[in-house]
Chains A and B, each alone.
Chain A
C-alpha cells in the first residue's frame, strides 16, 4: 500500500557527479557537493545549466512536500526574502525506488557563528537585529520558524545580510512545533510550551545570542532560568544584552519588533558607557520604550520609596500632634 520508513536514517546518499533527472519536469541536476544533512534529508549543492542551486532530497516524501508548502507560502509574501526561493519540485526514480526532492536558491556564505568568529563580536547585534526583522515578517504571515539555530542562519553578502535556510521546523502559529533543537527550545529549558507562537522564536533568538559567547553550547544542569542567567552573567560580551536576553527567555516580548527595538536601543548607546545603558536611556528619555525589566524594577523601587515617605510623614505629623497635646 505505502512505503514505510522503518528507521530514521537516510538512504539517499548520492555520489558526487551523479545526474538527477526529475520524473515530472525533466530538469537535470548534477550533484557537486554535500552542503548538510538533518533528520529529514540531505542538502546538496548542484549545478543546473551552469547555475548553482541547492537540492534537498529525502526518502521521506512527506517532509519534502511539507517544506515545499512552506516555501510556496513564503513566495507569496512580497518584498521580503523569508527563506530560500523555490525553483523546482520533483521525484527522482532510482533503482526502482522513488526519492522526492526540491530545488531552491543557493544561499552562499558562512553560518552565523563562523561569521562572528571571523569578523568579531561587533557584528552580533547587527545580525540579530536583521534576523528579528525577518522573524517579524514571518510571524506577521502566520508562521513560526521553529528550528531556529546558528546552523540554519547563513550570512551572505557583501553587504552582510542574514538569511534563514531549512524550513523543516516552520510551523503554522498555534500548532505544535514540527522540529526543534534542544538547546534553542524553550520546552527543553522548562520555560514554556512547544506551541508555535512568536515568543517561541524569540526565545531561540536569545539562545543564539548566548550561543555566540559559548560556541560549544553547554548542557542542562539545573535547567532553568537561573542557570541561563548565570551563564549570561559570566560573559562580558553578553552582559550588555542581559535585559533583552532575559526578557526574551521569559516570553516578555509579544513580537519580534519589540525585541528588535530594545536591541537597537542597546546597540545605539553601547559605544561609550559599558554598564547597562538600557536603563540609563530609559530614565533620561521617558517617551522612549524602556526595557520591561528595567521598567518593572524602577516602578517597584519607586513604589517602595513612596510608601516609606508616606509612613514617615504620617508618623511625624502624629508625633507633632501628640507633642502638641502633651503641651
Chain B
C-alpha cells in the first residue's frame, strides 16, 4: 500500500485571529490539498474565551485534524500526542479507502467484527511507524504569546525527539506569524531535526496582530513551492514520489 507522504500543519496559538481570511476556510482549503491541520491552544493564567475555543475546534474540524487546548506545562506531551493521533487518523482514512475497494460499499474498519479489526490495525500501526511525514509548524507570536515561547520551543524539540524515534523519515519547518514585514515569516526551512531551533527562538520578537487565516494560506504555498522546487532539481527518485503524493 502506497501512502505517499503525510503532510500536516501544526498551529500553536492562544486565541482568536483578528485579521484577514477566515482561518476555518483556509483549513478547509488545506484539507482539499491533502494537508491536515492540527491546532493546539496554549493557556497559561488566562483562559481562552468561547470564541477562541470555537475557532480552534473549527480549524481542526475543517482541516481534518485534531485540536486540544492545554496549559503551557502540558504542551510537550500534547504536541506529540496530537501529531501522532492525527497521523493515525489520516492513515486510518487511507486504509478505510482500501477496505472499501476490497469489500465494496461504505464499509470501514469500524464495521468489521472486532476479531478482524485487529489485523487491519496492525497495518495502520506499521504505516504509522514507517510513513514519511512533513510537519509545518505555525507559531502565533502575537504579544500574549511572548512568555509562552520558551515552552513552545521545548515542546517542538520534544516533538522531534518523539517522531525521530520512528523508522520513517520526518521533515519539519517552522513559521511564525505575524512576521516582520509579511503575515508569515520563515524561521526554519525543511529539516529532519529541530535542534537548530534553540538559537533562533531566543531572538524572536513578538507583537501585533493575529492573522491566522493568511498564515495558513501562506503555509500551504510553502508545501507546494517546495514540491515544484524539488522536482526542478529532477532527482528521478523524488519526482515519481511527488507525483504519487499529489
Residues on A close to B: CB < 8 A? 1-8, 24, 39, 61-62, 65-66, 68-69, 72, 89-91, 98, 100, 172, 174-178, 182, 187-188, 193-196
Contacts and interface: CB of A to CB of B under 8 A. Distances in A.
A7 B163 contact: no
A66 B122 CA distance: 8
Contact of A193 (B57, B114, B161): B161
Given A68-B114, A90-B114, A7 B158 contact: no
29 contacts: A1-B93, A2-B92, A2-B93, A2-B108, A4-B61, A4-B89, A6-B65, A6-B66, A24-B114, A65-B114, A65-B117, A65-B121, A66-B121, A66-B125, A69-B118, A69-B121, A72-B118, A89-B114, A89-B115, A91-B114, A172-B125, A175-B125, A176-B163, A176-B165, A176-B166, A182-B77, A188-B76, A193-B164, A193-B165
Most chain A CB within a 10 A radius of its CB, from B97, B122, B165: B165
Nearest to B106: A1
A7 B69 CA distance: 9
B231 interface: no
A72 B121 CA distance: 13
B60 A2 contact: no
Contact of A7 (B67, B113, B125): B67
Contacts of A7: 57, 60, 66-68
B64 interface: yes
Interface residues of B, number: 43
Contact of A62 (B64, B92, B167): B92
Most chain B CB within a 10 A radius of its CB, from A98, A193, A194: A194
Given A1-B108, A2-B92, A7-B67, A175 B167 contact: yes
Given A98-B110, A177-B165, A193-B165, A4 B64 contact: yes
Interface in B84-103: 84-85, 88-89, 92-93, 96-97
B129 interface: yes
Nearest to B53: A7
B82 interface: yes
Q: Which 4 A-B pairs rank lowest in CB-CB distance, beginning with the nearest?
A: A176-B165, A194-B165, A89-B114, A65-B121
Contacts of A24: 113-114
B86 to A, nearest CB: 10
A3 B110 contact: yes
B158 A187 contact: yes
Given A8-B81, A24-B113, 7 more contacts: A8-B68, A8-B82, A68-B118, A69-B121, A98-B110, A187-B165, A188-B76
Nearest to A98: B110
A2 B92 CA distance: 9
Contacts of B164: 193
A175 B168 CA distance: 10
A228 to B, nearest CB: 18
A3 B67 CA distance: 15
A39 to B, nearest CB: 7
B121 A187 contact: no
Contact of A6 (B60, B84, B162, B167): B60
Contacts of A178: 84
B139 interface: no
Contacts of B60: 6-7
Contact of B96 (A2, A6, A188): A2
A72 B81 CA distance: 25
Interface string B58-80: 00110011111000000011000
Nearest to B65: A6
Contacts of A98: 110
A122 B74 CA distance: 34
Contacts of B121: 62, 65-66, 69
B161 A6 contact: no
A148 to B, nearest CB: 16
